[in-house]
C-alpha cells in the first residue's frame, strides 16, 4: 500500500526579515489528520515561520522550499495559498473600521471559492459557525476587530476559519491573552475543523494550556530558527514542568567549540 502524500513538506527552510536571517533550516512533514504543535521561547522564530508559510511579502525565503499537497508553493502570494486551502490565524489580528464582519466573511469566502457563493448558503454556514463558537448574532454586524477585546479578536479569527473550512490551518499563538472560556471556544473551533480526515493543523504556541484542549500528535521545539526537538504530547508536559532553560543549556553544551 502506497504511503499517503504529506499535506505540508518544509525542506531546509531559511527565511529573513529586513535582511536578518530568522529561520535557519526548518524541516517538517505534516500529514492529513494530524495536529502538530510548535513551541519555543520568545524570539525563536515561531511567528516568522507562520508568516513565511502563508507567503507574507515581508518575509523572504533565502533557501529551501515549501510543498503543499506535492506542489511547490514557496513563492506563491498569500491569496493563492488561501485559495488552495491554507489559513493563518494571526497572533495580532488587524482592525478594519467600516467593514462589517458579515461582509468581510462573505467576501473572503467568495474569494477563496473563486465563485459567488449563494447568499442563502452563506447564511446557513455563518449561522452554523456562530452557534459552534457561541457567538451572538450581533457580532456579525460589528466592524472587523474594531473595538474588539482580545478574546473577541481571537473568536473572529476562528469564526473566519469555520466559515472558510481550510484544509490546512496555521494558528499563530491564538491563545495569547485569552481567558479560560475564550481559550476553550478557540480550541472547540480547531477541533471541529479537524473532524474531516483531509485536514491538518499547525498550532504555534508558547504555553501548554491551549494544548490541554487541542491534543497534538506531534510536538516540536523551535529554537534559534531550527527545530531542535520533536516528540509526542509528553514533550509538552515536560516543557511545562521544566521550562525551556534545561533544553537550551543542553543544546549549548552540545554545540562544537
Residues whose CB falls within 8 Å of the CB of residue 32, separated by 6 or more in sequence, listed in order: 4, 7, 197, 198, 199, 200
CB-based contact 109:117 (threshold 8 Å): yes
Please state the pTM of the whole predicted model: 0.89
Q: Which long-range contacts (CB under 8 A, 24 or more apart) does 97-101 make?
A: 97/143, 97/146, 98/143, 99/143, 99/144, 100/140, 100/141, 100/142, 100/143, 100/144, 101/139, 101/140, 101/141, 101/142, 101/143, 101/144, 101/156, 101/159
Bridge partners (DSSP) of residue 171 are: 89, 203
Q: Assign 161 to helix, strand or coil.
A: helix
Q: What is the pLDDT of residue 79?
A: 92
Q: What is the pLDDT of residue 191?
A: 83
Torsional sign, CA 52, 41, 172, 17: negative
Cell of 235: 514533550
126-184 pLDDT, tens digit each: 998 888 877 888 888 999 999 888 778 888 888 898 899 899 999 988 777 777 877 88
Per DSSP, the residues of 27-81 read EEEE-TT-EEEEE--TTSSHHHHHHHHHT-TTEEEEEEEEEETTEE-TT--HHHH
Q: How many Å apart are CA 255 and CA 164, to the nearest integer?
A: 44
173-188 pLDDT, tens digit each: 877 777 787 788 778 8
Domain ranges of the chain: 8-254
Q: What is the pLDDT of residue 187?
A: 84
Instruction: Give me the percent of the chain exceeding a pLDDT of 90.
Output: 53
Residue 11 has pLDDT above 90, yes or no: yes
Right CATH number for 8-254 from 3.40.50.300, 3.30.70.270, 3.40.50.1380, 3.40.640.10?
A: 3.40.50.300
118-128 pLDDT, tens digit each: 999 999 999 98
Residues whose CB falls within 8 Å of the CB of residue 113, separated by 6 or more in sequence, listed in order: none
CB-based contact 111:63 (threshold 8 Å): no
Query: What average pLDDT does the structure give for the chain?
Result: 88
Amino acid at each position: 500500500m502506497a504511503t499517503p502524500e504529506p499535506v505540508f513538506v518544509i525542506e531546509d527552510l531559511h527565511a529573513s526579515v529586513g535582511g536578518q536571517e530568522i529561520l535557519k533550516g526548518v524541516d517538517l512533514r505534516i500529514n492529513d489528520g494530524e495536529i502538530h504543535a510548535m513551541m519555543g521561547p520568545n524570539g525563536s522564530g515561531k511567528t516568522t515561520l507562520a508568516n513565511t508559510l502563508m507567503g507574507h511579502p515581508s518575509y523572504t525565503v533565502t533557501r529551501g522550499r515549501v510543498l503543499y499537497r506535492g506542489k511547490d508553493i514557496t513563492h506563491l502570494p498569500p491569496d493563492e495559498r488561501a485559495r488552495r486551502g491554507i489559513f493563518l490565524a494571526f497572533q495580532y489580528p488587524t482592525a478594519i473600521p467600516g467593514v462589517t464582519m458579515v461582509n468581510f466573511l462573505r467576501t473572503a469566502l467568495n474569494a477563496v471559492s473563486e465563485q459567488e457563493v449563494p447568499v442563502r448558503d452563506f447564511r446557513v454556514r455563518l449561522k452554523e459557525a456562530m452557534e459552534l463558537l457561541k457567538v451572538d448574532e450581533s457580532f456579525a454586524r460589528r466592524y472587523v476587530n474594531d473595538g474588539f477585546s482580545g478574546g473577541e479578536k481571537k473568536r473572529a479569527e476562528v469564526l473566519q476559519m469555520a466559515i472558510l473550512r481550510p484544509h490546512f490551518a496555521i494558528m499563530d499563538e491564538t491563545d495569547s491573552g485569552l481567558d479560560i472560556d475564550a481559550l476553550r471556544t478557540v480550541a472547540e473551533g480547531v477541533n471541529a475543523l479537524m473532524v474531516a480526515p483531509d485536514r491538518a493543523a499547525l498550532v504555534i504556541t508558547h504555553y501548554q494550556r491551549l494544548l490541554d484542549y487541542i491534543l497534538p500528535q506531534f510536538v516540536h521545539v523551535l529554537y534559534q530558527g531550527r527545530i531542535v526537538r520533536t516528540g509526542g504530547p509528553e514533550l509538552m508536559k515536560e516543557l511545562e514542568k521544566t521550562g525551556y532553560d534545561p533544553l537550551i543549556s543542553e543544546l549549548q553544551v552540545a554545540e562544537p567549540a
